[in-house]
Amino acid sequence: MKKSDIIKLNIEKTASDGRGIGYIDGKICFVHGTLEGETVEAQIYTVHKSYITAGVTKILSSSPLRQESYCSVSDTCGGCPLSHIKYEKQLVIKRQHVVDTLTRIGGIENAESIVADTIGMEIPARYRNKMVFPIGQKDSGAIGGFYAPRSHDVVGLSDCRVGEDCAIKALTTVVNFMNEYHIPAYNERTHKGYIRRVFVRCGYHSRDLMIVISSYNEKIKNLDKLINTLKNTDFGTYNLKSIVLNVNSAKNNLVLGNKNITLWGEDSICDSILGLQFNISPHSFFQVNPTQTERLYGKALELAELDDTKTVLDIYCGIGTISLCAAKSTKKVVGVEIVDAAIEDAKKNAKANGLKNTEFFCGAAEDIVPTLIKKGECPDVVIIDPPRKGSDEKTLSAILTAAPERIVYVSCNPATLARDAKFLTEGGYKMTYATPVDMFPNSEHIECVAKFERN
């Protein structure tokens, strides 16, 4: 077998990333766009020592679990690799991924019995309150959309079903402006051009709208005309509150640079979680799925078992979303976050919501948490919500030293959750419950909240 060969095989399983799994000549074969129960013809992409990758060319026998793609560019965009699978099956696949990962990496022997069913959405579409569209340049002019899989080639979009209509309207308006006034997109190879991305934030409850234009250079000609056009655009039920120019002149691929210039309106927008108000600036971390965020945080607080005698340490607290939700029903909350702007937002959000039982510290968790523990900060409950890379041994060791009654771990990556779970269980804790929460329908990503109790 070699690259470009056409093969026929039966798909026996579905991987967590949406690829079907079959076997041929003793090798496992991952086939994009297929799922278990199907017989397909596929073209080989790559051949390795122990596995093959391929893409489906013809479905000879379709699975009853298949659904017609809900997006016209899903094959080329790659943003929703599970969109060919019925949603109920997606939830099963994601739960099994969490179970398998906790078992294989974390050594959690009873993972099958402690992992609950995935909490899904009633309508798994139009759920994102933040959209980031890279801008590219084609012969016909500027285009905006998403990167094609494993590349930085932009796939142009006229719609995206994971986001609100207002996001596509903002993207279309900026792209039309670029083409009308001949504003070139930034080129990552030559480092010439201007606009790099269009970044849209929507306040789900407030209906506030922020549009951030990321540019390599702040001197964009006719920018006043773009501002006026955006101000006069009908964004449906959303009200435009902020237009920001973000300047990123570094030769990198970060979504945003450090410099924000408010071109019109306010520096931030507002939204709410579980009845609390939060200010959201361009750099703020704020969960992208509003309805599922409330379910995720609600489950985390339920597992924390808080009352007015408990103190809580919230590690990687961001702008204080979980901290403030916890503060409503506990004695004291201490938040730790490395981003200075996020800590300032957390303090402002605490004041705006009238919560006086919070304290926030800025710095790396691996530095701040051990220091707090040494100074006698002994929380009853630790809530930890790290980035995809998970936590680190220094922070986890400090948590073990503090010996809280329970630890609630909110994770966006089952692999690093499992790795950290192994460390915590070896340090005297037991994982007693976990539930996946589907924050990203039709994608391979899964959020999970887990509870650890001290032995």
| Tokens linked to 248 | 């990123």
Q: How far apart are CA 381 and CA 306, in angstroms?
A: 8
Give the containing element (helix H, strand E) for 53: strand 51-61
Give, in order, the Cα–Cα distances in Å from 385 to each of 160, 184, 314, 318, 422: 28, 39, 8, 9, 17
Choosing from 166, 325, 412, 448, the catalytic residue is 412
Which among 317, 355, 350, 321 has a CA at the least distance from the CA of 335? 317
Find the helix or strand (DSSP H, E) in which 358 lies: strand 358-362
Q: Which pair of structure tokens corresponds to residue 384?
A: 């930890």
Answer for the pair 195, 214: CB distance below 8 angstroms, yes or no: yes
Question: Is 14:96 a contact under the CB 8 Å cutoff?
Answer: no
Query: Over the range 280-315, which residues count as b (16 or more CB within 10 Å of their CB) and which as e?
Result: bbbbbbbbbbbebbbbbbbbbbebbebeeebbbbbb
- Residue 326's H or E segment, with its range, is helix 321-327
Say how far apart CA 161 and CA 165 lie, in whole Å. 8
Tell me the sheet residues that pair with 41: 8, 58
Residue with tokens 């900026």, as numbered in its chain: 174
Residue 91 and residue 438 in contact, taking contact as beta carbons nearer than 8 Å: yes
- 317 in active site: no
Q: Is 149 helix (H, G, I), strand (E, B) or coil?
A: coil
Within 8 A by CB and 6+ apart from 219, the residues are none
Phi, psi of 268 (to 5 degrees): -150, 170
Structure token digits, residue 55? 């893409």
Catalytic residue numbers, as ranges: 412
